[in-house]
């Protein structure tokens, strides 16, 4: 091998092992003299990096540190993340990923994934073939218009697909070379970004309407031709596009929208666990959502399906779900509602505020998906506690700065009686001498395992039933001991088991219903294990 080839091994994150190359490997691969003489195995390397990680004070700087490691030594990165997952998750993803996206152009070091600008319209198939790997199994794609609760970040939203796909590998052990992050850059309406000299995206206003639809159609068609086995995950598309895109493709493309369906599954799993704690059934709950966009609608639709499964007629199930948006209670007399709001627009007098809705409707559960912080006020939460012995309060908006209330507030305002889960992590809370450990309704409990199930079965489409199955599996993994501590999700240390169980259940569904495109294996667990990525050298 030439000197240049040896250098290329060190420069490629998939092949670089740094100082862990053995002496024989150094001779064979032309690496002698290119690395220091000491041979340090992967465990020693990881221990050294973890020590450096702990010395970094800023979470954003930790995020940059980890991404830098991924850029130069991919297997060491995943070794470190998988073995320290609970500590690394909030740095790699929520809540730190929000700030990382906001400053993506400033902290950019090395291209990762594909940047498909609308200026490439008409050539997307050709451009996708520039990707290094042919056997892509998971694509995560965003157009950057609604990044978490931060809004339009344009091409800076690329941090979301990169982060999500890292979690596919860390949580479900899908080979990172089979994962492709993509940003569809159709411009941005964020003037601050357009004025920023280091902004990396197209400097134009967002394209919309027929031109936007045509561009996304071309992308979907091209992706299916170039990567025919790939699952496509839509991420952080704004409401006007998210729901129509899912409706347009879901019955003919292997795809799903994580903001709608993944969020729905993890939230419904939390509701199942909360009902176990209350010793009730989901069909008996009355749920009020703050925020009537894609996330809330997705949770509501899956909740209705679960209530129907428990014996309620569809109309009665929908009657137990209410929404408050920026213009007040969603009721049938309003003329400003989107199509996805109509099934939940009930016959009721108009109400202007969340407080009025809580007082009038007396819901048993309050779920925040508004993206607006501090709207679960003390008076609102206390009203929930006055109406319920065990009020369910889920402020699910991300990142932490957008949470409708904090865990400490919810526990204090309810004297510890609240059943709480949030979208971002909160630490333990002590009330009246008792310590509560709030759960985080993180989609990482759902999408990696479900994605593995789809990949392993080759399911042609991803129906809602798969998310209902995943929600039930996740809820079943919550122990009585966890519930006693106020935690309605399993510990992240159990995520590997949870992901494998969800993969097994969803793949089984695909085989049972004829959705699979591969032969049913004699040993499903062994088949799933064949997709397992090992980051060890």
Residue 415 burial class via C-beta count within 10 angstroms: exposed 0-12, middle 13-18, buried 19 and up: exposed
Say how far apart CA 324 and CA 167 lie, in whole Å: 32
Helix, strand, or coil (residue 234): strand
Query: Among candidates 122, 291, 44, 439, which has minimal Cα distance to 300?
Result: 291
Active site residues: 93, 164
Of 406, 319, 412, 320, the C-alpha closest to 368 is: 406
pLDDT of res. 4: 57
The closest alpha carbon to 475, from 289, 282, 317, 318, belongs to 282
- Report the run of H or E that residue 114 belongs to, with start and end: strand 114-117
Give, in order, the Cα–Cα distances in Å from 376 to each of 120, 381, 407.
44, 6, 11
Beta bridge partners of 117: 185
Give which of 259, 235, 137 is closest to 518, Cα–Cα.
137
Closest by CA position to 106, among listed 164, 156, 166, 53:
156
Task: Name the one residue in this structure whose structure tokens are 């004070």.
Answer: 57
3-state secondary structure string across 331-374: ECCCCCCCHHHHHHCECCCCCCCHHHHHHHHCCCEEEECCCCCC
- In the chain, the domains with their CATH numbers are 3-92 (1.20.1370.30), 109-253 (3.40.50.10380), 259-537 (3.40.50.720)
**SS3 breakdown of the chain: % helix, strand, coil, rounded to 5?**
50, 10, 35
Rounded to 10 deg, the angle between the 59-72 and 74-83 helix axes is 130
Give the largest CA-CA distance in the chain: 80
Residue 228 pLDDT: 98
Question: What is the C-alpha separation between 18 and 218, in angstroms, rounded?
Answer: 41
- H/E segment holding residue 217: helix 209-226
Torsion of CA 128, 133, 138, 141, to 10 degrees: -30
pLDDT value for 297: 94
Residues listed for the chain: 537
Measuring CA to CA, which residue among 327, 324, 307, 326 is closest to residue 316?
Answer: 307
Beta bridge partners of 434: 431
Per-residue pLDDT tens listing for the chain (537 residues): 345 578 999 999 999 999 999 999 999 999 999 999 999 999 999 999 999 999 999 999 999 999 999 999 999 999 999 999 999 999 999 899 999 999 999 999 999 999 999 999 999 999 999 999 999 999 999 999 999 889 999 999 999 999 999 999 999 999 999 999 999 999 999 999 999 999 999 999 999 999 999 999 999 999 999 999 999 999 999 989 999 999 999 999 999 999 999 999 999 999 999 999 999 999 999 999 999 998 999 999 999 999 999 999 999 999 999 999 999 999 999 999 999 999 999 999 999 999 999 999 999 999 999 999 999 999 999 999 999 999 999 999 988 899 999 999 999 999 999 999 999 899 999 999 999 999 999 999 999 999 999 999 999 999 999 999 999 999 999 999 999 888 999 999 999 999 999 999 999 999 999 999 999 999 999 999 999 999 999
Which burial class, exposed, middle or buried, applies to 71 when counting CB atoms under 10 A from its CB (0-12, 13-18, 19+)? middle
Q: What pairs with residue 532 in β-bridges? A: 174
Is the link from the previous residue into 194 a cis peptide, with omega within 30 of 0?
no
CA distance 203 to 211: 17
DSSP reduced 3-state for 316: helix
- Work out the number of other CB atoms within 10 angstroms of the CB of residue 133: 14
> Taking the model in full, what pTM does it have?
0.94
Question: Among candidates 344, 536, 356, 531, which has minimal Cα distance to 449?
Answer: 531
Distance CA 29, CA 5 (A): 8
**Ordered alpha helix ranges (H), 108-208:** 124-128, 159-172, 191-194
Do strands 255-257 and 231-234 pair parallel, antiparallel, or not at all (unpaired)? Answer: parallel
231, 462 Cβ separation under 8 angstroms:
yes
Of the candidates 401, 398, 420, the one whose C-alpha atom is nearest the C-alpha of residue 409 is: 420
CB neighbours of 298 closer than 8 A, spacing ≥ 6? Answer: 257, 259, 260, 261, 263, 264
pLDDT computed for residue 1 by the predictor:
38
Position 399 scores a pLDDT of 86
pLDDT at 2: 45
Provide the pairing of β-strand 439-440 with 419-422: parallel
């Amino acid at each position: 091998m030439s000197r240049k080839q040896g250098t290329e091994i060190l420069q490629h994150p998939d092949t670089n092992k740094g100082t862990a190359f053995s002496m024989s490997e150094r001779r064979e691969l032309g690496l002698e003299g290119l690395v220091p003489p000491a041979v340090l195995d992967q465990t020693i390397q990881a221990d050294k990096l973890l020590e450096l990680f702990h010395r970094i004070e800023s979470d954003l700087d930790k995020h940059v540190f980890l991404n830098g490691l991924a850029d130069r030594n991919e297997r060491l990165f995943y070794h470190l993340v998988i073995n320290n997952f609970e500590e690394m998750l909030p740095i790699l993803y929520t809540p730190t990923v929000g700030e990382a996206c906001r400053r993506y152009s400033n902290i950019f070091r090395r291209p990762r994934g594909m940047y498909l600008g609308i200026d490439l319209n008409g050539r997307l198939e050709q451009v996708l073939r520039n990707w290094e790997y042919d056997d892509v199994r998971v694509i995560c794609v965003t157009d950057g218009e609604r990044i978490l609760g931060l809004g339009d970040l344009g091409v800076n939203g690329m941090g979301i697909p990169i982060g999500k796909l890292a979690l596919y590998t860390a949580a479900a052990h899908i080979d990172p070379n089979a994962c492709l992050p993509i940003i569809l850059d159709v411009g941005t309406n964020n003037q601050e970004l357009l004025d920023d000299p280091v902004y990396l995206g197209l400097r134009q206003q967002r394209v919309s309407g027929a031109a936007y639809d045509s561009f996304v159609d071309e992308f979907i068609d091209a992706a299916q031709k170039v990567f025919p086995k790939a699952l496509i995950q839509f991420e952080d598309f704004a409401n006007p596009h998210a729901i129509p895109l899912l409706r347009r493709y879901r019955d003919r493309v292997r795809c799903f929208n994580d903001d709608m369906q993944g969020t729905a599954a993890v939230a419904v799993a939390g509701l199942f666990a909360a009902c176990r704690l209350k010793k009730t059934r989901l069909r008996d709950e009355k749920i009020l959502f703050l925020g009537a966009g894609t996330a809330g609608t997705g949770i509501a639709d899956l909740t209705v399906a679960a209530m129907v499964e428990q014996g309620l007629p569809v109309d009665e199930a929908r009657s137990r779900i209410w929404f408050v948006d920026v213009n007040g209670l969603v009721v049938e007399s309003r003329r400003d509602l989107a199509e996805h709001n109509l099934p939940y627009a009930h016959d009721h007098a108009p109400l202007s505020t969340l407080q009025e809705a809580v007082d009038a409707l007396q819901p048993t559960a309050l779920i925040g998906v508004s993206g607006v912080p501090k709207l679960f006020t003390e008076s609102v939460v206390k009203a929930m506690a006055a109406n319920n012995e065990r009020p369910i309060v889920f402020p699910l908006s991300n990142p932490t700065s957008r949470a409708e209330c904090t865990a400490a507030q919810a526990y204090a305002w309810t004297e510890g009686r609240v059943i709480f889960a949030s979208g971002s992590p909160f630490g333990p809370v002590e009330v009246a001498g008792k310590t509560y450990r709030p759960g985080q309704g993180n989609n990482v409990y759902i999408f990696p395992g479900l994605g593995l199930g789809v990949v392993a079965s080759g399911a042609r489409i991803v129906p809602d039933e798969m998310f209902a199955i995943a929600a039930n599996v996740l809820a079943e993994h919550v122990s009585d001991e966890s519930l006693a501590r106020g935690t309605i999700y399993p510990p992240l240390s159990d995520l590997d088991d949870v992901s494998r169980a969800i993969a097994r259940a969803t793949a089984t569904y695909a085989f049972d219903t004829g959705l699979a495109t591969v032969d049913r294996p004699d040993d499903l667990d062994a088949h799933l294990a064949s997709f397992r990525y090992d980051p060890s050298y």
